[in-house]
Amino acid sequence: MTYKDESRIEVYGHGGDIETAEATFGRRAASFLDFSANINPLGPPADVITVLQESLPAVIRYPDPGHRRFKDLLSTRIGIARERLMAGNGAAECMALLLLGLSPKVVGVVDPCFSEYRELSFKFGADVRSITGHSGQDWRAGRDQVIELVQACDLLFLGQPNNPNGVQYDLDDIRAIAEAAERKKTWLVLDEAFIDFIPPEHRHTLLPELHRYRQTVIIRSMTKFYAIPGLRLGYTVGHPDVIRAMAAKQVSWSVNGLALLAGEACLGSGEAYERRTQELIRTQREQLAEGLRAAGFVVAPSEVNYLLVEVPYPWSAAAFQQELGTRGVLIRSCAMYPGLGPQHIRVAVKDAEANATLLAVVHEVMDGV
Ligand SMILES: Cc1ncc(COP(=O)(O)O)c(C=O)c1O
């Protein structure tokens, strides 16, 4: 059988594109089990759904353009002063506002990485300089290599943990990179979109010491951990001057009223939901990785809710995605990531039932059923 590369579903460069999947595989949207986007399998906290239902009549009002209640709650929750916080329409808008507000000429990225670092840089007129992580270091780049890149760019995006490989840099490495960024006056953007999936005691975050690094900015997403990608919400933590530069470029009301209310409910959802998510992801990730390895796949280590996987030869990511897609299971091809190859896919970690279905369908495909 031959497989066309153009059958892939990442026409917009991302997973989770159910419309394209419907058209490509000829199935109804609701019939897909989607492992191509990395969303908390528990769904949003129950309070968030209640708040959204009760708040629907409030859509007749404009949202607060200053995001004040959300920022007050966030400030208390993460222990950061309000003037160092900025809400965005997803982490993606925060990235765009950083590029618009700081106008870097050269942006640095470490491949493989989230495609928007490059895409947004090009959209806003910056050149991109890249280095590639090493497969032997779970696709991280070496500290010296990253510091060299800091010297060669005005702004550097670094995933912490990185997507698609799901691992963190050591905190000592991050500190050394942040210090190099201070000296060179390069902006260091730490993308912590997935860090909430890691239990607090295992997180390598610069957040508590961020005030020491004027050039370093942290971006976080609320869409993955709290399962609200359709609502859009993220935030930035940084020096007040950076926050002001970003705010000057933000379209008024870009963060909608329901997203702000949902965000407030997420922040109030409590430790039990967080712990339950982190524990579910840890146990399910181990089981899913084990099941995939037993089926002949190479699975890279991960600390979060997705796994970077190599399909066994002669399979390719495109062929595998197509075979699974026709059976109603969506996975992310990573063949188009600079630094990775035609064999690479990424799968989300979901709950036990969904993961068991994925493994069953994987076996079906491998056995040619
Ligand atoms: C590493 C990374 N950062 C940021 C984002 C964007 O997150 P948001 O949905 O909050 O815009 C994504 C989305 O896939 C991502 O993978």
87 CB under 6 A from ligand 1? no
Q: Which helix (H) or strand (E) holds 299?
A: strand 298-299
**Predicted pLDDT at 320:** 94
305 CB under 6 A from ligand 1? no
CA-16 nearest atom, ligand 1? 14
pLDDT in tens, 11-56: 888 888 888 888 889 899 899 999 999 999 999 999 999 999 999 9
**Predicted pLDDT at 231:** 96
92 CB under 6 A from ligand 1? yes
90 CB under 6 A from ligand 1? yes
As a whole number, the mean pLDDT across the chain is: 95
**Predicted pLDDT at 22:** 87
pLDDT in tens, 66-90: 999 999 999 999 999 999 999 999 9
325 CB under 6 A from ligand 1? no
Residue found under tokens 């000296």: 183
| pLDDT range class, residue 329, cuts 50, 70, 90 | very high
CA-89 nearest atom, ligand 1? 11
Burial status of residue 350 (CB atoms within 10 A of its CB: 0-12, 13-18, 19 or more):
buried
For residues 190 and 216, the answer to whether their CB atoms sit within 8 Å is: yes
At residue 6, does pLDDT exceed 70?
A: no
For residues 139 and 339, the answer to whether their CB atoms sit within 8 Å is: yes
- Please state the rounded mean pLDDT for residues 343-356: 98
**Predicted pLDDT at 93:** 98
Pocket mutation for ligand 1, best pick of 116, 233, 306 (most atoms within 8 Å of C-beta): 116
**Predicted pLDDT at 277:** 98
- Please state the rounded mean pLDDT for residues 114-137: 97
Residue 49 bridge partners (DSSP): none
**pTM score:** 0.96
Tell me the Ramachandran region of residue 114: left when phi exceeds 0, alpha when psi lies from -120 to 50, beta otherwise.
Answer: beta
**Predicted pLDDT at 15:** 86
159 CB under 6 A from ligand 1? yes
d(CA 298, CA 308): 9
Pocket mutation for ligand 1, best pick of 12, 35, 224 (most atoms within 8 Å of C-beta): 224
CA-94 nearest atom, ligand 1? 11
> Which residue, among 4, 31, 1, 5, has the nearest Cα to 325 in the 3D structure?
31
173 CB under 6 A from ligand 1? no
